[in-house]
Structure 1
């Protein structure tokens, strides 16, 4: 669907624990995706918990702990490399992947299902500032 687009660097993702960006699907609908650190590289996932429609990165960085991105609503942890959740309300589910490629430390969107829209979340472009549902998690960061 699109030509490969340079997103950021592996170093930036590892330093900040995540990198949020907005993509468009084949119908032009926008969705958010996040890059997460994975061993020496990165993986990309749609920015949504599989248990409920909760953003994992609400615009100020995803909570990443011990190799898992943590859902701010119920505390389910998804492996940053496989996207699989083995705990909490989302146990047994896997995040929706977005294909990326790494070359010389740079990360490229390499998924024909999406085109790059902009860095940051959907709301960053139109400025309505909706941070999504509030957290009911007992976990704080």
Structure 2
């Protein structure tokens, strides 16, 4: 349960196997327990994309034990900010929530070399989000 002092953020993409997993991992690391983090997918995959796991390992973050999760109405309702990443109409909408849509290339079916720039874009957006939330990211 989130409190007024700890904002909660939900990252959503279709399979919860790439972009939303990377974003959640960066926010968890950079937010340092000052933000509640969730990620989910409208049609979750069975596993996280191995190229995404490898690209994140290069950035010093291990997401090898993460599992894609199904998007629930409860997760959206419990989040202050909902960030979608290419799920289109499959993402639920609730009035009063802050919604952001991050247009990012889908890492599905891509190798680590193609995932790296997506990873780096996500890290930069997460750092900006932390600033917008009034938390700020470590240098």
| TM, length-normalised to structure 1 | 0.30
Q: Hey, which of these two has a bigger chunk of strand by percent?
A: 1
Q: Hey, which of these two has a bigger chunk of helix by percent?
A: 2
| TM, length-normalised to structure 2 | 0.30
